[in-house]
Amino acid sequence: MPSEHFIDKDINLYLSYISEVKNLSQNTTSSYKRDLHKLSIFLYSINIKDYDEIDDGVCASWLGKLYSLENNPKTIQRHLSSAKGFFRFLKKNSIIDSSPFELVKAPKSPSYLPEVLSPEDVSQLLNFKPSDVLEIRDLAIVELMYSSGLRVSETANINIDDFEEEMSFLRVLGKGAKTRIVPIGRYAKNAIYNWIDERTKYSEDTNALFINLKGGRLSVRSIQLRLKRLAIKQGLPPVHPHMLRHSFATHMLESSGDLRTIQELLGHSSLSTTQIYTKLDYQHLVKIYDQAHPRAKK
C-alpha cells in the first residue's frame, strides 16, 4: 500500500473534526481511526481509486471481508458506524454526492443483559472495617462508584476540587467531555472523608482524589485489580467496576421507577441506552412472581 491512499487525507480531516469540533473522547477518536484505516486498506486491496467507484457491491464485499475475519456482530456494527459517519461527513462537505453506506445494515448482535450485584451482595462487599490505608482508599472508591453510578475512568479522573456543597455533590467529566452533577450518599461521603485524612500523608502536590502510595493518580487498571481483590476477600466472585454502575442503576430503578432521572445520573445521551435496565427490572419481577404466585410456572 502506498504511503497515502486517496481516502486517507479525508480520514485525517474527519478525525480532526470529531475530536476538535464534536469533542469526542480520545478513545472514541482512536477507535474511528483504526476502523477507517482498515477500510482504506481494503479499498486499496481491491484497486478502488476514487469515491465514485465505491458502490453497494464494494460495501457488501467489505462487510463480507469483516465476516471472513471472524469479527463478532458488535464489532462489525462498530466498523459500519465508523464508515457511515465518515461518509456523512464527506457528503456534508460536498466531497461526494451521496453515501454508498447509507442503506447498508449491520448484523444484529445478541442482546446481553449487564451483570448486576444484588443489594445483599453490595452489602457483603462493603461490610468490612479497613485494616490499612489502602483499604481505607478502596472502601472510598467502591462506596463512591456504587453511590453515584460512576464509570471506572470517571472515578480515576476525580479531583479534590470536583466536589460541591460540602461534598454532597460531585462534578463528573463523562464521555464526550460532558459534565454532569451527581449526588453522593452518606456512606460514600464518610468513606471519602476518612480517605482524605489519610491521603494528605502521601501527597499534597496533586489534585487527584485517589492516589497510590507514591502520590501518583491511581490508574483504571489498579482500580479494577483492587476491586477484584476486595470482592474475593469478602467471599464474592470477582467483581468488575461496571458491575457497580449496573447495580446502581438497577437498584435505583427497582426503588423509584424513574428512568429519566437514572439516565441523567448515568450520563447517557440517549434514553434507549438506559432502557436496558428496564429489562433487568422485568426479569426481577418475573423471578419474584414465579417464587410467590401459587399458579406460576415453577
Q: Is residue 293 among the annotated active site residues? A: no
**Whole-number Å distance between alpha carbons of 82 and 69:** 18
Q: Is residue 277 among the annotated active site residues? A: yes
> 78: which residues sit within 8 A by CB, 6+ positions away?
31, 35
Q: How far is CA 136 from CA 30, 119, 144, 159, 169, in A?
A: 36, 22, 12, 18, 21
All 3 cell numbers of residue 166? 460540602
Considering 37, 91, 242, 284, which one is annotated as catalytic? 242
Q: Is residue 151 among the annotated active site residues? A: yes
Considering 78, 137, 199, 268, which one is annotated as catalytic? 268
Do residues 136 and 198 make contact, with C-beta atoms less than 8 angstroms apart?
Answer: yes
Considering 91, 171, 175, 228, which one is annotated as catalytic? 175
With residue 172 as reference, give the H or E element that holds it: strand 169-173
Considering 226, 245, 246, 251, which one is annotated as catalytic? 245
Q: Is residue 175 among the annotated active site residues? A: yes
Considering 79, 137, 151, 246, which one is annotated as catalytic? 151
C-alpha triplet 79, 267, 262: angle, nearest 5°: 120
Q: Is residue 33 among the annotated active site residues? A: no
Q: Is residue 246 among the annotated active site residues? A: no
Burial class (CB in 10 A: 0-12, 13-18, 19+), 288: exposed
Q: Please list the active-site residues.
A: 151, 175, 242, 245, 268, 277
